[in-house]
Structure 1
Amino acid sequence: MAEKKASVKLNKDFKVADIDDRIYGSFIEHLGRAVYTGIYEPDHPTADEDGFREDVMELIKELDVPIVRYPGGNFVSGYNWEDGVGPVEDRPNRLELAWRTIETNEIGTNEFMKWAEKAGTDVMMAVNLGTRGIDAARNLIEYCNHPGGSYYSDLRKEHGYEKPYNIKTWCLGNEMDGPWQLGHKTAEEYGRLACETAKVMKQVDPDIEFVVCGSSHRNMPTFGEWEATVLEHTYEHVDYISLHQYFGHRTENLPKYLAKSVQMDDFIDSVIAICDYVKAKKKSDKEIYLSFDEWNVWFHSNQADQEMEPWAIAPPQLEDIYTFEDALVVGMMMMSLLKRADRVKMACLAQLVNVIAPIMTKEGGDAWKQTIFYPYYHGCKYGRGTVLEPVISCPTYDTEDFKEVPLVDTVTVMNEQKDELTIFAVNRDLEDSLVFEVELNGFEDYSVLEHIVMESEDVKARNTADNPDNVTPHTGGNATITGVKIVADLPKLSWNVIRLKKNN
Structure 2
Amino acid sequence: MAKAKMIVDKDFEIARVDSRMYGSFIEHLGRAVYNGIYQPGHPAADEDGFRRDVLELVKELDVPIIRYPGGNFVSGFFWEDSVGPKEERKPRLDLAWRTLETNQFGLGEFAKWSKKAGSEIMMAINLGTRGVSDALNLLEYCNLDTNSYYSNLRKQHGAKEPYNVKTWCLGNEMDGPWQVGHKTAYEYGRLAAETAKAMKLMDDSIELVSCGSSNVDMPTFPEWEAVSLEETYDYVDYISLHNYYGNAENDTEDFFAKTQDLERFIHTVIATCDYIKAKKRSKKTLNLSFDEWNVWFHATEGDNEEMKNRPWQTAPHLLEDIYDFEDAILVGLILITFLKHADRLKMACLAQLVNVIAPIMTENDGGAWKQTIFYPFLHASKYGRGIALRSVVNSTMHDSKNHEDVTDVESVAVYNEEKEEVTIFAVNRNVKEDALFEADVRCFGGYRVLEYLALENDDMKVVNSIAGEKVSPYSKTEYKLEDGIFTANLSKCSWNVIRLGKS
Q: TM-score, normalised by structure 2?
A: 0.98
Residue 256 (structure 1) aligns with: 254
Residue 397 (structure 1) aligns with: 398
Residue 45 (structure 1) aligns with: 43
CA distance in 1, matches of 2:2, 2:262: 26
Alignment of 1:380-419 (within 5 A): 380-419=381-420
CA distance in 2, matches of 1:287, 1:81: 32
CA distance in 2, matches of 1:438, 1:16: 18
CA distance in 2, matches of 1:255, 1:119: 37
Structure 1 residues 173-230: Cα deviation after superposition (integer angstroms, max 9, x where no partner)? 0000000000000000000000000111112111111000000011111101110111
CA distance in 1, matches of 2:232, 2:471: 45
> 1:360 is paired with a residue of what secondary structure?
strand
Residue 117 (structure 2) aligns with: 119
The one-letter code matched in structure 1 to 2:206 is I
Residue 203 (structure 1) aligns with: 201
> 2:14 is paired with a residue of what secondary structure?
strand
CA distance in 1, matches of 2:500, 2:354: 32
Residue 58 (structure 2) aligns with: 60
Q: May I ask how many residue pairs the two structures share in their alignment? A: 500
CA distance in 1, matches of 2:237, 2:146: 27
Contact 1:452-1:477 at 8 Å conserved across structures: no
> 1:11 is paired with a residue of what secondary structure?
coil
Contact 1:96-1:102 at 8 Å conserved across structures: yes
CA distance in 2, matches of 1:401, 1:175: 28
Identify which range, 105-114 or 299-308, moves more after superposition: 299-308
Contact 1:167-1:208 at 8 Å conserved across structures: yes
CA distance in 2, matches of 1:223, 1:478: 46
The one-letter code matched in structure 1 to 2:498 is I
Identify which range, 368-377 or 199-208, moves more after superposition: 199-208
Corresponding position: 1:315 with 2:316: yes
Residue 423 (structure 2) aligns with: 422
The one-letter code matched in structure 2 to 1:491 is S
Residue 496 (structure 1) aligns with: 496
The one-letter code matched in structure 1 to 2:373 is I
CA distance in 2, matches of 1:472, 1:21: 24
Residue 17 (structure 1) aligns with: 15
Greater than 6 Å deviation, 4+ residue runs: none
Residue 327 (structure 1) aligns with: 328
Residue 485 (structure 2) aligns with: 485
Residue 191 (structure 2) aligns with: 193
Structure 1 residues 74-130: Cα deviation after superposition (integer angstroms, max 9, x where no partner)? 000010001101110111111100000000000111110000111110000010000
Selected match of 1:282 from 271, 280, 283? 280
Residue 462 (structure 1) aligns with: 463
CA distance in 1, matches of 2:201, 2:325: 48
Contact 1:479-1:498 at 8 Å conserved across structures: no
Alignment of 1:76-115 (within 5 A): 76-115=74-113
Structure 1 residues 356-400: Cα deviation after superposition (integer angstroms, max 9, x where no partner)? 000000002110000000000000101000111111111111123
CA distance in 2, matches of 1:253, 1:206: 49
Structure 1 residues 292-334: Cα deviation after superposition (integer angstroms, max 9, x where no partner)? 0000000111133123214121001010000000000011111
Shift of 1:477: 4.4
The one-letter code matched in structure 2 to 1:134 is V
Residue 229 (structure 1) aligns with: 227
The one-letter code matched in structure 2 to 1:189 is E
Residue 166 (structure 2) aligns with: 168
Contact 1:477-1:489 at 8 Å conserved across structures: no
Residue 143 (structure 1) aligns with: 141
Residue 32 (structure 2) aligns with: 34
Residue 435 (structure 2) aligns with: 434
Contact 1:32-1:355 at 8 Å conserved across structures: yes
The one-letter code matched in structure 1 to 2:220 is T
Shift of 1:441: 4.1
List gaps (5 residues or longer) in structure 1. Answer: none
Residue 131 (structure 2) aligns with: 133
CA distance in 1, matches of 2:400, 2:2: 19
CA distance in 2, matches of 1:498, 1:37: 37
Contact 1:477-1:488 at 8 Å conserved across structures: no
Shift of 1:240: 0.2
CA distance in 2, matches of 1:306, 1:232: 35
Residue 264 (structure 2) aligns with: 266
> 1:283 is paired with a residue of what secondary structure?
coil
Identify which range, 166-175 or 449-458, moves more after superposition: 449-458
The one-letter code matched in structure 2 to 1:476 is K
List gaps (5 residues or longer) in structure 2. Answer: none
Residue 298 (structure 1) aligns with: 296
> 1:312 is paired with a residue of what secondary structure?
coil
Contact 1:17-1:387 at 8 Å conserved across structures: yes
Residue 342 (structure 2) aligns with: 341
Contact 1:330-1:372 at 8 Å conserved across structures: yes
Distance 1:477 1:228, change over 3 A: farther
Contact 1:358-1:373 at 8 Å conserved across structures: yes
CA distance in 1, matches of 2:250, 2:145: 56
Contact 2:442-2:483 at 8 Å conserved across structures: no
Residue 6 (structure 1) aligns with: 4
Contact 1:444-1:483 at 8 Å conserved across structures: no
Contact 1:298-1:356 at 8 Å conserved across structures: yes
> 1:164 is paired with a residue of what secondary structure?
coil
Shift of 1:266: 1.1
Shift of 1:284: 0.6
CA distance in 2, matches of 1:117, 1:483: 46
